[in-house]
Each structure stands twice: as C-alpha cells, then as structure tokens.
Amino acid sequence: MDTNLEEKAEILLHTYNLKATKPRLKILSYLMSHHNHPTVEMIYHALNEEINRATVYNTLNALSEVGIIIEIKNGDNSTHYDYFVKPHFHIICKNCGKIADVIYPNFDQIENEMRKNAEEQTGFIASTSHLEIYGLCPNCQIKLKK
Amino acid sequence: MDTNLEEKAEILLHTYNLKATKPRLKILSYLMSHHNHPTVEMIYHALNEEINRATVYNTLNALSEVGIIIEIKNGDNSTHYDYFVKPHFHIICKNCGKIADVIYPNFDQIENEMRKNAEEQTGFIASTSHLEIYGLCPNCQIKLKK
DNA sequence: GTTTTAATTTAGATTATTTCTAAATTGCCT
DNA sequence: AGGCAATTTAGAAATAATCTAAATTAAAAC
C-alpha cells in the first residue's frame, strides 16, 4: 500500500471539506493510481469486496460532486469514473465498451462558454458538465468488417 | 390522432431505412409533438401501455442510433429522449431532475471539432456525441436557499 | 393482390444497477 | 478523552434494461 498516495488523497479530501474516512481514502487512492475508468463493481472487487457497495456509491457521488473525479455515463448503462487530472473527455466504443481519454487543451474554456450560454438561456446555475462521444474502437472496426 | 404527423414520421423512418411499424410510428409521433424529454416509462404510459416496454426500448435505441432523436443520460439514472430539431444540448437540475433545452447555433460545429480531435488521438471512428450540463434550476435555487 | 421473407413485436422472466433503511461505527472538533 | 454529526454497513427493495422464443407484420418479390 502506497502511504504517500493515501496522504495525497487525504489532503485532497480535506481541501473539499470531505471527511477522510478509510473507505474514501482507499477508493480515491485507487482512482488516483488506476486510469482504467472503473465502475462501482470494478472498484468493489479491486478492493477485495471489503467496502460496502452502498459506500462505494456514496463515495463516488461525493467525489464527483466536488469535481475530484469525472462521472462517465457509458452506453452500457453503468457509470464509470475517472480521476480528474487535466481537462479531457471520453470516447466510448459502442461495440465493446472500451473508454479512451481525449486530451483537449481548450476543453474547459469551451465548457465554460457552454455553461455560460446555458445559464443565460435557462436561468439555471450550472455546475458540472459531461461530454461523451460514442464510436468504434480500432479493434472493433476490424472485427466488424469481417 | 394527427394523421399528418404520422405521415411525417413514416417518411422520416423510411429515410433512415427503418421499417415503419405501428409502434414506431406512435412513438416517433409522440416524440415529435412532445418536448417533455420523456423516459421509456413516460412514453409507455402516454401510449396507454399498449406497446410493450421492450419495444419502446428497441425503438428508442433505433431512433437515437440514426440520430432522429437525442439520448439524454440524466442524473436520475434513467435515460430521457428528445426529438432532434436543431443542434442543442441539455441542462439538468441536480435537485429535481428538470431538463431544459439550450440552443447553441455552433453546437454541431464544435461537436465536429471534438469528434475529429478524438478520432485523431484514439483511432476510433466517432459517431454520436452527448453533452449534458448539470446545475440547479431557478425553482430549486429558491427552495434550497431557505 | 398474394406470397415470401426478414425484421420486428410481444409476454414474461431475468439480470443488472442503484437506492433505501435503521443500526453501528468513526472522524474530527473542542 | 468525550461528544456529535457524518459516514458506513448489511441486507432488502426499487428501478431500469435486456433476453428468449414464439407470434406478428411491413415491404419486397412475384
């Protein structure tokens, strides 16, 4: 277990006024060190089924609410998560569900513009935004040609 | 029943090489005349529970696959749908789930740019894209202040 | 206008995902 | 160290979506 990682996670949690509970430290550390876009189920198993599923759900909701992680609504109807490093979005394979990161330097700028526009038009106060693109990954392009 | 509407729906279905079955005509007509961002459940009830739920699911998937309608992955973990008129995206209230349209003239242009970028970076072939913004609607802003 | 055929619909069961409840535990402040 | 609000837990319950195999149907072929 990487103590240094958990320390980093603890600081991050406190920054956002979240209690640094053991389950949260483990889950956040996992996300900080794995960029496999896991679901609740994947995290639950990766952490040896030691943390209650409801807690995994609660934690991921809390983390994505403050923006520490990104929520990805996948085509497979389960939600995936990704630790936020720099502005990016995701492209998801319609065939196999694979998720790839797309780095887009101006992404937060564009996001902000959209948010502002949405607020002006609707009177909402915007917080998080979600962009996902669907498509076919290189592997499935080949598979489906046959 | 608006025959004219169903005729329009039939033409639209044929344009995309989709069989114009009775369930599809009813569902598409409903979507073309209601902009309440319904879920499967809402459509199922609006059409008097006469169309099997599985068919509603199948139809909505088929329609969104070809782009006649837009799929909205709402925060409430059910999927909402919207007939596509012009390029727009959605803002969703985190508190009450209300969905509002945001018209954005350049939206498809920006979408295309993102898609191109994603394709170059990942080797995927991009098809549809989804953007949702979360926030607080005017009503809930007032409610939560109390 | 029949016939044919592939696609679609159906009922109902099944699976998967997420939320809820009430009791027990735990982090953090004083 | 003690107190309290927030969080976690086990397990049940609710909700959403998919699957199966048989019946039906739209549209092309004759």
Structure tokens at B111: 């979408």
Contact A59, A24 (CB under 8 A): yes
Place of tokens 């998720």: A99
- In this complex, the nucleotide whose C1' atom is nearest to the CA atom of residue A25 is C27
Q: Which residues pair with B134 in a beta bridge?
A: B92
- In this complex, the nucleotide whose C1' atom is nearest to the CA atom of residue B61 is D17
| Architecture of the domain spanning B86-146 | 2-Layer Sandwich (3.30)
- CB count in 10 Å sphere of residue B69: 21
B123 confidence band (pLDDT: 50, 70, 90): very high
Q: What is the pLDDT, as a whole number, of residue B144?
A: 73
> For every one of its 146 residues, what pLDDT tens digit does chain A have, with 9 covering 90 and above?
566 899 999 999 999 999 999 999 999 999 999 999 999 999 999 999 999 999 999 999 999 999 999 999 887 889 999 998 888 899 999 888 899 999 987 888 989 999 999 999 999 999 888 999 999 999 889 877 65
Whether A113 sits with its Cβ under 7 A from any strand C atom: the answer reads no
Fold of A1-85: Arc Repressor Mutant, subunit A (1.10.10)
B122 confidence band (pLDDT: 50, 70, 90): very high
Nearest CA in chain B to A121: B102
Q: Which residues pair with B91 in a beta bridge?
A: B100, B133
Does domain A87-146 match CATH 1.10.1060.10? no
Q: Establish whether domains A1-85 and A87-146 are of one fold.
A: no
Query: Phi/psi at B48 (nearest 5 deg)?
Result: 60, 30
Q: Which residues, in sequence order, are CB contacts of B62 under 8 Å at separation 6+? A: B18, B24
Domain boundaries defined on chain B:
1-85, 86-146
